[in-house]
Amino acid sequence: MRTIITAYYPEDMQKVNSNYNILVVEDDKRMSYLIERCLSKNKQYEVQVADKIKWARQALEKTYFDLICLDLLLPDGNGIDLCKELKKSDEYKSTKIIVISKINQVINKVEAFKFGADEYLIKPFHPHELDIRVKKHLGLIGSGLKNIKYKNLTLDTRNMRFLHNSYEIPLTKTEFLLLQYLFEHEGFGNLNALTQFLSSKKFIDINNKSVIVSVNRLKKKLKTNTGNPFIKTKYGIGYYIP
């Protein structure tokens, strides 16, 4: 196990500082370095890295972790098995788990969510995307609101309504979900992230091409109704609302 920052907790697993402990379980050295580098930019995070499940278990016995970034294909087993263990334990049943995997199949995503994963991030990903998801699950940015506002746009998640300056614009479920993702991630989302988000919400196999078509239709609808498409595309980054 490669330890980036070591922090130990007492036997009752209570936190002894105000930082957030994050465990990265990833055997690809390049990927684990990229994840650790991204997270370590935030001074609130204490990061440890394990390249096998057995090292992860040892770290979990000594340290309480607020969030775990978990690969699925590991040298000594499947990350899903560790996910199951954690959600059955008293200490870690509420710990947030972000699966980070190159496997982009609906059946694997559904299995991960079924056994306790809170997010499913596809490799490769943009560091900003990981940063936003970690902040979201640690409660560092708002989530779970009935009304989500971004500038002069409002999403009423309870009633599935979208408003621009208090004027309602009818959207399809897919269009609403696209905007919801962007709103909850500070106006940013790459193509892979949007595809997997829609797949998990609609429980059907959605590909990147269909998401591109849906985004273009949404932009056209927004421009027709407001004079502004709002969503822009940045090559190599993804979609964003400026």
Parse the chain into domains and list their residue ranges.
20-137, 147-240
99 CB contacts (<8 Å, ≥6 apart)? Answer: 70, 71, 72, 79, 83, 112, 117, 119, 120, 121
What tens digit of pLDDT does each residue of 116-158 get? 898 999 998 888 889 988 988 887 765 444 577 777 788 887 7
How confident is the model at residue 146, as a pLDDT? 59
Lowest mean pLDDT across 5-19, 44-58, 148-162, 211-225:
5-19
Give the per-residue pLDDT at 30.
94
The partner residues of 20 in beta bridges, in order of sequence, read 45
So what's the pLDDT on residue 204? 63
Cβ atoms of residues 163 and 154 within 8 Å: yes
Q: Model confidence over 57-95: pLDDT tens digits?
A: 999 998 889 899 999 999 999 999 999 999 888 788 878
Domain 20-137 belongs to what topology? Rossmann fold (3.40.50)
User: Before 242, cis peptide (omega within 30)?
Assistant: no
Please state, for a pLDDT cut of 90, what percent of the chain lies above it: 38
The domain at 147-240 falls in which architecture? Orthogonal Bundle (1.10)
* pTM, entire model: 0.58
Token pair belonging to 170: 């009818």
Quick one: angle between helices 79-88 and 53-62, nearest 10?
Answer: 20
Angle at 186 between CA 184 and CA 190, to 5 degrees: 85
Decide if 20-137 and 147-240 have a common fold: no
